[in-house]
């Protein structure tokens, strides 16, 4: 297949995933703004949960979940950015191989928009990617996460591309690509060694250098 655009997930594909302890601290920081100290279970419900679980945690503490979520998104974006600045969230070495691609390139991730934009700026990738999308800092933005094709479809449209490859590291990436009508490449990074795929991607690769070869 000849592609005219290649789109990449951010967390776990371009950069190492943000550590769970960093994400947990961001949740506690958001609750602290309301003078609330959540349980460990409550924190993990926010880190790993659905809107329904997040809403239940907020109900326990008498918080409006939409108001809480805005604070959380700000705290989470700041945590991702701090991790980059402190060297806890670095680019994978094979990102440099993407400069060999002639296709239009973009980043579409589930991380907060501010954090995705900072990733591109911090690591001087602005000249590489034409389009950058992260999720909006709102409940609606959270609902539009993958496997929803919302942001991916917007990127495809903005690039004006027809034959597109989306590169991710999770089942939701593969499913979002399928729903958007584009091909997918699953990168089996070290943190995905034993990860089980629920659906077959178009390609499974070990590195971004293999993505370059595919394209």
Inter-residue contact 208 to 94 (CB < 8 Å): yes
pLDDT digits (tens, 9 = 90+) for 55-103: 999 999 999 999 999 999 999 999 999 999 999 999 999 999 999 999 9
CA–CA separation, 167 vs 188, rounded Å?
Answer: 11
CATH of the domain spanning 20-85 = 1.10.150
Q: What global pTM score does this model have?
A: 0.95
β partners of residue 164 = 5
Task: Indicate the burial class of 54 (C-beta count within 10 angstroms; 0-12, 13-18, 19 or more).
Answer: buried
pLDDT digits (tens, 9 = 90+) for 2-48: 899 999 999 999 999 999 999 999 999 999 999 999 999 999 999 99
Inter-residue contact 179 to 149 (CB < 8 Å): yes
Relative to beta strand 183-187, strand 131-135 is: unpaired
CATH, domain 5-17+89-214, list 3.40.50.150, 3.20.20.20, 3.40.50.1000, 3.30.360.10? 3.40.50.1000
Residue-range domain boundaries for the chain: 5-17+89-214, 20-85
């Amino acid at each position: 297949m000849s592609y005219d655009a290649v789109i990449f997930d951010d967390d776990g594909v371009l950069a190492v995933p943000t550590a769970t302890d960093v994400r947990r601290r961001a949740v506690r920081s958001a609750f602290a703004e309301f003078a609330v100290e959540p349980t460990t279970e409550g924190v993990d419900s926010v880190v790993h949960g659905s809107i329904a679980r997040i809403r239940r945690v907020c109900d326990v503490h008498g918080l409006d979940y939409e108001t809480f979520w805005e604070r959380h998104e700000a705290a989470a974006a700041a945590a991702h950015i701090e991790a980059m600045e402190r060297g806890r969230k670095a680019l994978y070495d094979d990102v440099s191989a993407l400069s060999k691609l002639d296709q239009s390139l973009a980043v579409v991730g589930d991380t907060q928009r501010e954090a995705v934009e900072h990733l591109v700026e911090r690591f001087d990738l602005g000249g590489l990617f034409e389009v950058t999308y992260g999720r909006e800092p709102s409940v609606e933005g959270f609902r539009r996460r993958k496997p929803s094709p919302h942001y991916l479809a917007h990127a495809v449209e903005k690039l004006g591309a027809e034959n597109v490859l989306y590169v991710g590291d999770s089942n939701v990436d593969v499913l979002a690509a399928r729903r958007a009508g584009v091909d997918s490449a699953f990168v089996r990074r070290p943190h995905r060694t034993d990860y089980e795929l629920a659906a077959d991607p178009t390609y499974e690769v070990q590195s971004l250098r293999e993505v370059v070869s595919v394209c």
